[in-house]
Amino acid sequence: DTQMTQSPSSLSASVGDRVTITCQASQDISIYLNWYQQKPGKAPKLLIYDASNSEAGVPSRFSGSGSGTDFTFTINSLQPEDIATYYCQQYINDVTFGQGTKLEIK
C-alpha cells in the first residue's frame, strides 16, 4: 500500500492569510495526486487533480505543486468559506487518502 502523510493535522489561520498543507507519499507516485475539500456533513469535492491542475470552477486562490513523493497545497488569501477539512489522495497504486487537515479560522 502507498501511505499518504499529511501535515499539519489541524491549522488555525486568519482571513487573508496564505495557508500551506503538505503531503508525503511512501513511494514515488509521479503526479498522480489529487486534493479534496470536505465541509462538515458534505461529500469531498475535487479541487486539484494531477498535483497542480485546478478543477473547473475552483477559485484561483487554490493551487497545488509537487511530484514524486512530496506535494504542497496552498490557499492564497484565506476566505471564511474555505473552512473545511482538506485531503490529499494518491491514485497510482489503488487509491489512498491522507489523514486530513482540519482548517479553522483564527
Partner 1 sequence: QVQLQESGPGLVKPSETLSLTCTVSGGSISGSFWSWFRQPPGKRPERLGYIYYTGSATYSPSLGGRVTMSVDTSSNQFSLKLRSVTAADTAVYYCARDTFGKSWGQGTLVTVSS
Q: Does 40 bind partner 1 (CB under 8 A)?
A: no
Residue 10 CA to chain centroid, in angstroms?
Answer: 12
Contact with partner 1 (CB under 8 A): which of 14, 16, 40, 43?
43
Instruction: Give the C-alpha separation, 35 to 7, whole Å.
Output: 13
Instruction: Give the C-alpha separation, 65 to 42, whole Å.
Output: 26
Contact with partner 1 (CB under 8 A): which of 19, 25, 29, 34?
34
Contact with partner 1 (CB under 8 A): which of 10, 15, 30, 45?
45
- C-beta separation of 89 from 98 below 8 A: yes
Tell me which residues touch partner 1 (CB under 8 A).
34, 36, 42-46, 49, 87, 89, 91, 94-95, 97-100
